[in-house]
Amino acid sequence: MAGKFCITKGKDGKDYFVLKAGNGEVILQSQGYKSSDGCMNGIESVKKHAANEANFECREAKDGRMYFVLKASNGQEIGRSQMYKSESGCMNGIASVAKNAQDSSTVDEREDT
């Protein structure tokens, strides 16, 4: 089963997207976007940049858990992962984003569109 990008509207009125793996698990979430066009551009940026492992950065949270961010070529953060218990979990998450991003469909789940 292929992954998919799901677009939602946050309580703050901004548009957000998540990338879900084929099993439905969220593997990457975005920042908030003021416009639908900005959100769609963010999805396209994930598709473009997820193929290059150098665009991912594993980080350690204050509580010791690991997460990763995906950055565009200009260094701007495009999205970040959930928390992982280990660095190997973090690396598996990166591999999942790289695998799922390219061919994922986009589903608009906003209620007011």
What would the pLDDT profile of 26-78 be if each residue is shown by its tens digit? 999 999 999 999 999 999 999 999 999 999 999 999 999 999 999 998 999 99
**What is the structure's pLDDT at 113?**
47
Chain-centroid distance of CA 46 in Å reads 7
The dihedral built from the CA positions of residue 38, 43, 44 and 45, taken in this order, carries a sign that is positive
Among 63, 64, 53, which residue's Cα sits nearest to residue 87?
64
Tell me: domain 4-108, CATH 2.30.29.80, correct?
Answer: yes
* Cβ atoms of 18 and 31 closer than 8 Å: no
pTM: 0.90
Instruction: Count the residues in the chain.
Output: 113
For residues 53 and 38, give the distance between their C-alpha atoms in angstroms, rounded to a whole number: 24
Domain spans of the chain, in order of start? 4-108
Q: What is the mean pLDDT of residues 14-18?
A: 97
**What is the structure's pLDDT at 79?**
96
